[in-house]
Amino acid sequence: MNFMYDPIMRVLTVLEILQAREHVSGAELARRLEVNSRTVQRYIARLQDLCIPVESTRGVGGAYRLKPGFRLPPMMFTDEEAFALTLGLRALRHLGLAAFAPATEGAAAKLGRVLPESLCDSANAVEEVVAIEPGPWVISTSAESLIRVCTAIRTRHRVGFHYAAHDRTSSRREVEPYGIVHMDGRWYMVGLCLLREALRTFRLDRISQLELREETFDRPAGFDANAYLQRSMPFVEAGFAIEVWLDLSVDKVRSHFALHRVRVDAENGGTTLRCARQNLEPFAAMLLTLGCSITVRQPRELIETFNRLATRAAQAAASGQAFTAASGA
């Protein structure tokens, strides 16, 4: 899309010209915008509808001007605000929304042009000294799907889409979306699934062919998608239902895990941890780093995973001892 030919952009261009010039003729505006005089009049009327005080003089040599003394307030930022804006733009690149990269670069460039030199130094410091690396769990997500879902939530319209579950089965869903949450490197939509007739959580990266429906709905007052997701997240990801007992206090266990991915309860002087995981080996390895006694209650596959890790650990230890002995000889 060529934004130069977007009518809204042309209206804003008219405003920019009027702010930069004491007065400008309709003919010049028409020439610069590559439109006719009637179109210029429509643009002026649009500005006036927005309460921008554009005045005009008629007849030969007639021109448009902004009411004397009127100026749109400039963007004024403190040093901290400039730093925060720049840091926010940098962070946006690492939320799995690659399609927004050009927009963030453009916004950062515009910000750099309007900031005074002293604040540019603060903004540039973000680029020079702050490193933001995407986490290993960040999943690339369609920016278009995110925008459409947010629009549906705002306008209270249902959405329809194809959904690929964790086991690769696909289904057609129709949902009344209540909220969007970014958590643990993924974007989630929470809403009423008409197929299941219950609240469900959907990963946006598993959604395709998303469309807004004509049907509308009433969103529950005060619905907190983030709170709902934190309650249900340990069991949203299907795969293996896990329950283990750890010889650690609840506080110590919580300090090692993202709370939205596990449920922890104090039990018998230790902590019972429940969650669901699709891949058991990374989770088992993480449990071993806790350095405490572990009792596996379920699933059986987790016990087998610990056995495999133990075998590999014993082999690594044996090979290290053999290397040390050979070196000593």
pLDDT value for 258: 63
Q: Would you say residue 287 has pLDDT above 80?
A: yes
CA–CA separation, 58 and 66 (whole Å): 15
Q: Would you say residue 155 has pLDDT above 60?
A: yes
CA dihedral sign of residues 32, 38, 43, 44: positive
CA–CA separation, 198 and 96 (whole Å): 28
CA–CA separation, 61 and 68 (whole Å): 19
pTM recorded for the entire structure:
0.53
Judged by average pLDDT, the poorest of 6-15, 98-107, 261-270 is: 98-107
Higher pLDDT, 318 or 140: 318
Higher pLDDT, 263 or 308: 308
pLDDT value for 35: 84
With both helix axes pointing from N to C terminus, report the angle between 7-20 and 37-49 in degrees, rounded to the nearest 10. 80
What are the residue boundaries of the structural domains of the chain, listed by start? 3-66, 79-129, 143-232, 240-312
Phi-psi category of 281—alpha, beta or left, where left has phi over 0 and alpha has psi -120 to 50? alpha
Judged by average pLDDT, the poorest of 8-22, 90-104, 163-177, 216-230 is: 90-104
What mean pLDDT, rounded, does the chain reach?
Answer: 81
pLDDT value for 62: 72
pLDDT value for 216: 95
pLDDT band for position 87 (50/70/90)? confident
Is 44 exposed, middle or buried (CB count within 10 Å of its CB: 0-12, 13-18, 19+)? Answer: buried
What class is the 240-312 domain? Answer: alpha beta
Question: Per residue in 195-240, pLDDT tens?
Answer: 999 999 998 999 999 999 999 999 998 899 888 877 776 555 557 8
pLDDT value for 311: 94
pLDDT value for 93: 63
Q: Would you say residue 171 has pLDDT above 90?
A: yes
CATH topology for 3-66? Arc Repressor Mutant, subunit A (1.10.10)
Q: How many CA atoms lie within 13 A of 183 on its CB side?
A: 25
Question: Per residue in 257-284, pLDDT tens?
Answer: 765 578 889 999 999 998 888 788 988 9
CATH architecture of 143-232: Roll (2.30)
pLDDT band for position 125 (50/70/90)? low
pLDDT value for 86: 76
pLDDT band for position 60 (50/70/90)? low
pLDDT value for 17: 83
Judged by average pLDDT, the poorest of 31-35, 87-91, 161-165, 310-314 is: 87-91
pLDDT value for 18: 84
pLDDT value for 4: 44
pLDDT value for 149: 92
